[in-house]
Structure 1
């Protein structure tokens, strides 16, 4: 880095007299000062309440910073300057850098969004959902299909079911040097058979929709929709606070799922697990993923007893304290430790890790070993 560039950065960091800065650096300095300089030190009045002024400010930060940094600054602006009211204006919504946190904010404000802004809000959510599907869907489908088909290998597969990688590996001794090819005397692939509901693996996502779990709800909805598209799985999505919302019948459209979520409110995990329990027909084939920080507002003793009963019935119970990129959130350590003592894995998980987690669960492998191999810290039993 040149000496002049180092001096420029120090001037920006220290907020020195803007007259010594270039026009572009003055705009950059003003855009950060409006948000981060303490109010009593500001020579100007921050961003103000004017939507056009905020829109110009958003345009400036997009010019100066890459998208991940813009999303951080934008999130800080919502929290520091109470800009959420402006999100109800379609013109302002259209200028925002869309990400999972913005979707969570829009879902939490859903009831307050005026008619004129609803279509814009839906388009913003659709954009983020499409981007998330593009990032997560292929890996999820490939990972889960591979896990579910692994035990169904056959040496007489149909042409469309041939696993060419394994077939070539098994026939390398039949390599024909003159023709530069392998003669596949033995075919390896997946056996097809019609599955009844009793044959299917059943995945039940039970998701805490209290405010602190907002981004986890968004990711869980996306994954539920992807898993519901797999005919080899039966997938259910149940969201809860003190009220239970079964969104299983909306899984064909993740946007509809998200607009069916009601972020905020209290937490009654026991009631949600009781509802899930009623929906389980094949315990030994059911994987119940409870996504919650475990702060129980209902009957905590009954909640812990219900987890124990589900586990004893043969249900594969997994507790995720978060399903997000934000790291492990605050959680109830006592409830987490008690559930861990029931031989239920309790930990936080990122969206990129979730497909492999589910593949591990569906093949009944040791989730503790998988977590250790992926540097994921499990909650210790008490």
Structure 2
């Protein structure tokens, strides 16, 4: 094997610090997050801070995020998000946001304050992206009347061609456009709809919890929509008062615990004012820890009164569901629409209902 060079040796050592945590390390009582090397007269102990400095120097951004995710999710090296020295320097990314939400119960107030920086940065990026998708879904339908607003998606080709035929040059076989025309967008009269998001806050649903919080914030204040956000495990917590502040909302979520979906559905049903103008979206893996029969009956009652019930096994960018298919089928049998959606797809569904 050829000489790796100084950087090659350093990269190999950084990878070994993380992925070399095998049974032999356990027998030597090397704790996750501590040294990747032995003490005594040998090299100095590598701390998590040292390792993070090394990987930020040695690897590209995508690799750094993968290494950080594996450190937290595979090896439970929690000091990545609970050590103030690390939190002051680490670059926020979605993997670290998940880690913060899963470990914030371990943090003292000072560490929690530093961890909030990660939450704020990642949520800000998600909001910027998702707000565009949500608002596009509510932008209205094209009308035939002209518009002063010039957007490519509203370009009226037929009217533009007719209006500019006088500028056709046969010798060049080219039509010159002096005055482009555009459709306007009109918004039909909309009546108030309630969108009630019931979000399972068990640990496996962390991505959906994050995207539910940001989706609710994007829906907040849109014409024709009143949004509620309810988190549940075996208890139900109404977080609607914080919907316009997804950072504060996520800092209040307590991930983990059991699951009583029926209780959450009953709570959501109690919020409905006009059943035929309500959408209840249950975001869960549908592994019911409470009474399955009560859950099925509660969903059937909502459907029978004219409420639209969505059962979403995932609400995130990938929308890759893992869920109890038997329960999902039982809920579909009583009229719920079951599946998985990205936040943009949910917004499009809500917009279709509100503006029809």
TM bracket (short chain): 0.7 to 0.9
Over 3 Å counting, the alpha-carbon distance change for 1:303 and 1:26 in structure 2 is: same
Q: Offset at 1:306?
A: 0.9
Q: Distance in 1 between matches of 2:309 and 2:117?
A: 36
User: Does structure 1 conserve the Cα–Cα contact (< 8 Å) formed by 2:317 and 2:343?
Assistant: no
Residue aligning to 1:239:
231
Q: Does 1:32 align with 2:15?
A: yes
Over 3 Å counting, the alpha-carbon distance change for 1:326 and 1:64 in structure 2 is: farther
Q: Does 1:22 align with 2:5?
A: yes
Over 3 Å counting, the alpha-carbon distance change for 1:183 and 1:328 in structure 2 is: closer
Q: Distance in 2 between matches of 1:192 and 1:328?
A: 34
Partner deviation per Cα, 1:148-175 (whole Å, 9 max, x = no partner)? x22x847488x67x98864734523233
User: Does structure 2 conserve the Cα–Cα contact (< 8 Å) formed by 1:206 and 1:290?
Assistant: yes
Select which of 113, 133, 142 maps to 1:139. Answer: 133
Q: Does 1:117 align with 2:106?
A: no
Partner deviation per Cα, 1:31-63 (whole Å, 9 max, x = no partner)? 111121353556995865279721121122233
User: Does structure 1 conserve the Cα–Cα contact (< 8 Å) formed by 2:203 and 2:256?
Assistant: yes
Q: TM-score, normalised by structure 2?
A: 0.82
Partner deviation per Cα, 1:317-360 (whole Å, 9 max, x = no partner)? 111112235663542221011112234332233xxx33134313
Residue aligning to 2:34:
49
Over 3 Å counting, the alpha-carbon distance change for 1:141 and 1:334 in structure 2 is: same
User: What SS class does the counterpart of residue 285 from structure 2 fall into?
Assistant: coil
Residue aligning to 2:72:
78
Over 3 Å counting, the alpha-carbon distance change for 1:343 and 1:92 in structure 2 is: same
Q: Distance in 2 between matches of 1:115 and 1:133?
A: 26
Residue aligning to 2:307:
315
Structure 2's unaligned 5+ residue stretches are 36-44, 168-175
Select which of 321, 335, 357 maps to 2:327. Answer: 335
Residue aligning to 1:266:
258
Mapping 1:73-112, distance limit 5 Å: 73-85=67-79, 87-112=81-106
User: Does structure 1 conserve the Cα–Cα contact (< 8 Å) formed by 2:48 and 2:79?
Assistant: no
User: Does structure 1 conserve the Cα–Cα contact (< 8 Å) formed by 2:138 and 2:351?
Assistant: no
Residue aligning to 1:368:
none
User: Does structure 2 conserve the Cα–Cα contact (< 8 Å) formed by 1:99 and 1:128?
Assistant: yes
User: What SS class does the counterpart of residue 287 from structure 1 fall into?
Assistant: strand
Q: Offset at 1:23?
A: 1.0
Structure 1's unaligned 5+ residue stretches are 1-6, 9-19, 366-382
Q: Does 1:289 align with 2:281?
A: yes
Q: Does 1:181 align with 2:164?
A: no
Residue aligning to 1:218:
210
Q: Distance in 1 between matches of 2:215 and 2:280?
A: 14
User: What SS class does the counterpart of residue 347 from structure 1 fall into?
Assistant: strand
Over 3 Å counting, the alpha-carbon distance change for 1:332 and 1:164 in structure 2 is: closer
User: What SS class does the counterpart of residue 181 from structure 1 fall into?
Assistant: coil
Residue aligning to 2:173:
none
Q: Distance in 2 between matches of 1:133 and 1:274?
A: 30
Q: Offset at 1:295?
A: 1.0
Over 3 Å counting, the alpha-carbon distance change for 1:38 and 1:100 in structure 2 is: closer
User: Does structure 2 conserve the Cα–Cα contact (< 8 Å) formed by 1:318 and 1:344?
Assistant: yes
User: Does structure 2 conserve the Cα–Cα contact (< 8 Å) formed by 1:216 and 1:291?
Assistant: yes
Over 3 Å counting, the alpha-carbon distance change for 1:29 and 1:273 in structure 2 is: same
User: Does structure 2 conserve the Cα–Cα contact (< 8 Å) formed by 1:206 and 1:237?
Assistant: yes
